[in-house]
Amino acid sequence: MRKKTVRKRTVYKKAKKKSLFSWGKIAKILGAFIAIAAIGLAIYHYRDGLLYYLGYKSHFATKEQLEEKRLSDVRNFQVLSKHDGKAIGIDVSEYQGNIKWEDLGSIEETYAINFVFIRATVGSDCPDRKFSKNWLEAKENKIIRGAYHYYRPNENSLDQAELFIKNVRLSKGDLPPVLDIEQLPKNQSIRQLKVGLRKWLQAIEDHYKVRPIIYTGEKYYDSFLKEEFSDYLFWIANYNFYREKIQDNWLFWQFTEKGSLPGIEGTVDLNIYNGDLQQLQFITIE
C-alpha cells in the first residue's frame, strides 16, 4: 500500500515593521531640545548685554578682541544695568602702568567713574611705584579716592601698618583705608593670622581716626573672616558669571577684573558701591 506523502506547509512570519522612533532617537531629540532651550534662555537672560555688545562693540573691535572679551563684556554690561543709581568705581595699582587720568571716561561710554581705590603698599617693605602719581592725579581729576594695603600674612603686621601710614596721607573727602587680605599664611596658624589682621586694623584706626574697610574674596570671607570680623565693613571680590547683584551686607563689590576704560591700557577691576554717589560721599573722611 502506497504511503501518502504529507507535505509540510511553510509558514512565513510577517516581518515586524521598524519603529520610526527608537528610544535612543527619542533621547537624542529630547537632549537636543533641552540644549536649544537652555541656549535660548541664556540669550534671553543676557539680551540687554548681548544687544549692547553686538550693536556697539562689534563695529570697532577686531575679531580676536571680540572673541576674547565677548563673555566678560556681556556680563559687565548686564551687571551694571542692574545697578542703575549705584556709585561705580575702579581699583588700580602699578600694574595699570601710566594711567591717563584726564582721559578717564565712562565704562562703555555709559557708566561714569565715581571713585577709585589705589594700591599704596605691599607687605612691610614695598610701596606701590605708581601710588604717589595716581593718588595726586585722582584728586586733581575730582574722583573720590581711597588707598589700600596688600597684606602679606607672613610679615609683621605692625611693620606693614607703619609702611602704610608712612606713605598715605588722607584728607577730607577720601575713603577710609582698606586692608586687602587674599593669602593664607605659610608659617603661622589661622588664629595667628587673625591676631595680625586685628593689630594692623587697630593701628590704622588709631592713626587715621576712622575704621578701615576689609577687602577679600567671598570664599575667604565666608571661611575665615565673616564671624570674627563682623564689626568691620567688607569689600568683596566675586567674579562668578551667575552673580549679578551685590549682596545687602557688602559695602563694595568687585565684580570683574576684565573691565575696559579709556585712559587705561589693558584691563582694570570694576566695582560697585552699595549705594548712590551721595551715600558714598557720606562715608568719606570729614
Across the chain, which distance is largest between two alpha carbons, in Å? 133
All 3 cell numbers of residue 79? 551687571
Which residues, including other chains, have CB under 8 Å from residue 234's CB and lie 6 or more apart?
Answer: 213, 214, 215, 216, 221, 225, 249, 250, 251, 252
Q: Cell triple for residue 73?
A: 563684556
Give bridge partners of residue 147 from the DSSP assignment: 118
Q: CA–CA separation, 128 vs 150, rounded Å?
A: 10
Residues with Cβ < 8 Å from 215, sequence gap 6 or more?
117, 148, 178, 179, 180, 181, 234, 235, 236, 237, 252, 254
Assigned C-alpha cell, 76? 559687565
The C-alpha cell at 100 is 591717563
| Residues whose CB falls within 8 Å of the CB of residue 274, separated by 6 or more in sequence, listed in order | 86, 246, 248, 250, 251, 252, 253
Is 182 known to be catalytic?
yes
Task: Work out the number of other CB atoms within 10 angstroms of the CB of residue 50.
Answer: 18
CB 218 within 8 A of CB 253: no
- Select which of 67, 68, 182, 265 is catalytic: 182
Catalytic residues: 182
